[in-house]
């Protein structure tokens, strides 16, 4: 027996859905509009308010900014160094947004981090909508909306939607490819003569595959390839894959991706592939790159927070998924989820977003069990719904603590939103037995929205001590000379050149003194630990200088308190 898109009776809790969601599921257009609006509400808070984050986001944004500044859209550079870790896709998207913003007169477009985040915002919204589309071969429309809402409310996607890097856009391409793959698998009938005549599914699949390859290289191949391989082993057949026209599709894929790869190889020789595959990818597999190593099981532990609030239903759905594991639809979703999850648990380097492309499969699996009304009623599994309340409580405590520690304020503006999040979390937990899974999940999703407003729109922008680069850039902007340039010693975070200008030099202590000695509107930004070497070099070259301003803050990338003094040269007698 397979899962199809034919109408099914709603679960016993379906009648209790709020009217707005019930109205949304009456047509695909209404469903898409509601999901898009809810996603905007979830992802917009803080998009422009939160300063650039170190380190990956600022590196991506700075490289994209340099594309706009130089007009070179082939090479990828961070300041004077090549940045050959990822292909060019996201850099093109970010540069396109910023260039358009400059063309229409947006002030300070080059240093407005929110503009660089727009591709991630659109990718996250697209991922929510495509989760709905990808779910339709497996569940009815109402349950597809439920799965998409779980994605929209998930903590991890909310984070990635606000970061100017690859992962939200990559997720969009993977879900598009997997949705097309699912339709090819579910619709294939060996005896049907016209089953492989359509061009829409192959076009979606291979275009998404090519886009994903341009975003993050062969990562999309891991998810698609493992799914296809698992199904081939389980079914002992790959005949259904002919629907996707592999020969013509491969040609189309190469046509889309080869031009840039040929151009970058011509520009860099073999440096790009050595950097992206040999250095970046293989080191992550073999060792804990950049201190992100962790043992297997970390992703399972993080899942209960990163997929909150939908994760609370995962435990109760697991027995129902296991019972139906041989059904065609469930088999496909498990092939999407399980092999990739195992691989990432075994890879030494672990970052939370690595398993994000498996979350749509989890959401659809949960929605399928909810649709059947077969969530487990075991007490120890239902006890997990308490997490709907605990997360808002923990986040409220963390927000208050952060505001008191880093701003010496109580953050009264955040309190009403945090309190409302706790109330909705409490309702989701306390009324689960009477309201059922769907209504409780929707109440928890409101709590997730309120948490997003509290954290991203109110709290993080007010934690100025955590963003020394903002204060340093503002100090340079207030200089009483034209076009100030700076060399920074000791404080080397990539957000500084993004905000202060590409001409900013990340230097050694001696290099900062030599830079300052060249005269003109120059400043040396010297972190406290680098001052002895800076002063020694200044004496050696006869440099006269004076302290102009001082910035104190916290470098959250390494957990250190930092004090950066801005020095400028004095006129020689």
Residue 330, domain extent:
15-372
Residue after which a domain boundary falls, among 333, 352, 372: 372
3-state secondary structure of 25: coil
Q: 112 and 25, same structural domain?
A: yes
Q: 333 and 270, same structural domain?
A: yes
Residue after which a domain boundary falls, among 431, 462, 493: 462
Compute the radius of gyration of the chain from its Cα atoms.
26
Q: Which long-range contacts (CB under 8 A, 24 or more apart) does 140-143 make?
A: 140/5, 140/6, 140/7, 140/8, 140/371, 141/25, 141/28, 141/31, 142/10, 142/14, 142/17, 142/25, 142/371, 143/367, 143/368, 143/370, 143/371
The two three-digit tokens of residue 288, written as one number: 């804990």
Residues in the chain where the model's pLDDT stays below 70: 1-24, 191-197, 270-271, 273-293, 571-573
Cα angle, residue 79 at apex, residues 215 and 507 outer, rounded to 5°: 135
Site of tokens 């130089």: 70
Q: Cα(101)–Cα(98) distance, rounded to whole angstroms? A: 5
The pLDDT, as a whole number, for residue 278 is: 47
Question: For 453-508, what is the HEC assignment?
Answer: HHHHHHHHHHCHHHCHHHHHHHHHHCCCCCCCEEEEECCCCCHHHHHHCCCCEEEC
Q: 402 and 509, same structural domain?
A: no
Strands across the sheet with 485-489, in order?
505-507, 485-489, 522-527, 560-569, 545-555
Q: Is residue 260 part of a domain?
A: yes
The two three-digit tokens of residue 271, written as one number: 């440096």
The pLDDT, as a whole number, for residue 193 is: 56
CB atoms < 10 A from the CB of 28, how many?
A: 14
Q: Cα(377)–Cα(88) distance, rounded to whole angstroms? A: 49
Q: Is residue 1 part of a domain?
A: no
Residue 150 CB partners (closer than 8 Å, separation 6+)? 307, 309, 310, 363, 366, 367, 441
The pLDDT, as a whole number, for residue 333 is: 98
φ and ψ of 47, to 5 deg: -55, -45
Count structural domains, the chain: 3
Q: 215 and 326, same structural domain?
A: yes
Burial of 262 (0-12, 13-18, 19+ CB in 10 A): exposed
Q: Is residue 451 part of a domain?
A: yes
Cα angle, residue 189 at apex, residues 186 and 193 outer, rounded to 5°: 135
Q: Cα(128)–Cα(141) distance, rounded to whole angstroms? A: 14
Q: 424 and 485, same structural domain?
A: no
The pLDDT, as a whole number, for residue 14 is: 40
- Spatial contact of 76 and 483, defined as CB atoms under 8 Å apart: no
Q: 527 and 456, same structural domain?
A: no
Taken in order 337, 338, 339, 342, is the CA torsion positive or negative?
positive
Q: Cα(281)–Cα(283) distance, rounded to whole angstroms? A: 6
Q: Which helix (H) or strand (E) holds 119?
A: helix 113-135
3-state secondary structure of 324: coil
Q: Cα(32)–Cα(142) distance, rounded to whole angstroms? A: 12
Q: Cα(267)–Cα(66) distance, rounded to whole angstroms? A: 17
Q: Is residue 131 part of a domain?
A: yes
Residue 464 CB partners (closer than 8 Å, separation 6+)? 406, 407, 470, 471, 553
Question: Which residues is 547 bridged to in the sheet?
Answer: 567
Helix pair angle (359-372, 328-346), 10° resolution: 140
Q: 496 and 414, same structural domain?
A: no
Question: Which residues is 554 bridged to in the sheet?
Answer: 561
Q: Is residue 176 part of a domain?
A: yes
Q: 428 and 305, same structural domain?
A: no
Site of tokens 């598009």: 176
* CA 225 remoteness from chain centre: 22
Q: 476 and 438, same structural domain?
A: no
Q: 367 and 386, same structural domain?
A: no
The pLDDT, as a whole number, for residue 570 is: 80
- Residue by residue, DSSP assigns 149-206 as HHHHH-HHHHHHTTSSSSHHHHHHHHHHHHHHHHHHHHH--TT-TTTT--SHHHHHHH
- Spatial contact of 143 and 135, defined as CB atoms under 8 Å apart: yes
Question: Which residues is 545 bridged to in the sheet?
Answer: 569
Q: 152 and 242, same structural domain?
A: yes
Instruction: Residue count of the chain, please give it.
Output: 573
Burial of 376 (0-12, 13-18, 19+ CB in 10 A): middle
Q: Is residue 499 part of a domain?
A: yes
Q: Is residue 46 part of a domain?
A: yes
Q: Is residue 68 part of a domain?
A: yes
The two three-digit tokens of residue 500, written as one number: 């202060």
Residue after which a domain boundary falls, among 321, 349, 372: 372
* CA 97 remoteness from chain centre: 18
- Spatial contact of 299 and 355, defined as CB atoms under 8 Å apart: yes
Q: Which helix (H) or strand (E) holds 548?
A: strand 545-555
Q: Cα(179)–Cα(133) distance, rounded to whole angstroms? A: 7
Largest interatomic CA distance in the chain: 94
CB atoms < 10 A from the CB of 279, how many?
A: 15
- Spatial contact of 527 and 492, defined as CB atoms under 8 Å apart: no
Q: 418 and 311, same structural domain?
A: no
Residue 38's alpha-carbon distances to 129, 259, 365, in angstroms, are 11, 38, 22
Site of tokens 């859209």: 73
């Amino acid at each position: 027996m397979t899962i199809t898109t034919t109408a099914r009776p709603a679960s016993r809790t379906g009648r209790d859905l709020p009217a707005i969601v019930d109205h949304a599921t009456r047509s695909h257009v209404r469903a898409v509009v509601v999901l898009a609006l809810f996603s905007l509400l979830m992802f917009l808070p803080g998009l422009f308010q939160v300063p650039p984050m170190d380190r990956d986001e600022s590196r991506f944004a700075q490289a994209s900014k340099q594309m706009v500044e130089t007009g070179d859209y082939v090479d990828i550079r961070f300041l004077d160094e090549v940045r050959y870790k990822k292909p060019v896709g996201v850099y093109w998207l970010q540069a396109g947004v910023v260039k358009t913003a400059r063309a229409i007169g947006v002030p300070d477009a080059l240093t407005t981090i929110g503009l660089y985040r727009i591709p991630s915002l659109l990718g996250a919204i697209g991922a929510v909508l495509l989760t709905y589309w990808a779910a339709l071969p497996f569940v009815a429309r109402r349950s597809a909306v439920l799965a998409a809402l779980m994605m929209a409310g998930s903590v991890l996607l909310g984070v990635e939607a606000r970061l100017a890097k690859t992962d939200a856009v990559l997720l969009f391409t993977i879900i598009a490819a997997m949705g097309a793959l699912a339709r090819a698998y579910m619709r294939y009938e060996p005896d049907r003569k016209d089953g492989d005549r359509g061009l829409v599914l192959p076009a979606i699949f291979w275009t998404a595959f090519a886009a994903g390859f341009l975003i993050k290289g062969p990562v999309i191949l891991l998810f698609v390839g493992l799914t296809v391989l698992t199904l081939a082993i389980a079914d002992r057949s790959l005949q259904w894959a002919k629907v996707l026209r592999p020969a013509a599709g491969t040609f189309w894929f190469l046509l889309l991706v080869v031009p840039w790869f040929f151009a970058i190889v011509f520009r860099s020789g073999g440096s790009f592939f050595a950097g992206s595959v040999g250095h970046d990818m293989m080191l992550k597999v073999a060792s804990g790159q950049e201190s992100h190593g962790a043992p297997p099981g970390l992703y399972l532990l993080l899942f209960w927070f990163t997929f909150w609030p939908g994760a609370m239903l995962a435990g109760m759905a697991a027995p129902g998924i296991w019972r139906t594991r041989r059904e065609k639809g469930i088999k496909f979703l498990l092939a999407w989820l399980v092999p990739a999850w195992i691989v990432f648990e075994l890879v030494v380097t672990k970052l939370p977003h690595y398993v994000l492309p498996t979350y749509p499969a989890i959401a659809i699996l949960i929605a399928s069990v909810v649709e059947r009304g077969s969530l487990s009623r075991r007490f120890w599994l239902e006890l997990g719904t308490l997490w709907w309340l605990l997360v808002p409580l923990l986040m409220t405590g963390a927000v208050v603590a952060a505001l008191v520690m880093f701003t010496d304020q109580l953050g009264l503006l955040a309190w009403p939103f945090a309190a409302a999040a706790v109330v909705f979390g409490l309702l989701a937990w306390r009324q689960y037995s009477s309201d059922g899974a769907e209504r409780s999940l929707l109440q928890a999703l409101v709590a997730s929205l309120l948490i997003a407003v509290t954290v991203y729109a109110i709290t993080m922008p007010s934690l100025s001590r955590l963003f020394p680069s903002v204060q340093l850039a503002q100090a340079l902007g207030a200089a009483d000379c034209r076009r100030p340039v700076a060399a920074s010693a000791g404080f080397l975070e990539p957000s500084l050149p993004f905000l202060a200008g590409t001409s900013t030099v990340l230097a050694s202590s001696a290099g900062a003194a030599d830079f300052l000695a060249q005269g003109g509107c120059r400043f040396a930004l010297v972190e406290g630990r680098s001052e002895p070497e800076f002063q020694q070099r200044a004496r050696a070259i006869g440099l006269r200088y004076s302290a102009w301003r001082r910035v104190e803050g916290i470098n959250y990338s390494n957990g250190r308190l930092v004090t950066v003094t801005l020095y400028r040269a004095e006129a020689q007698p």
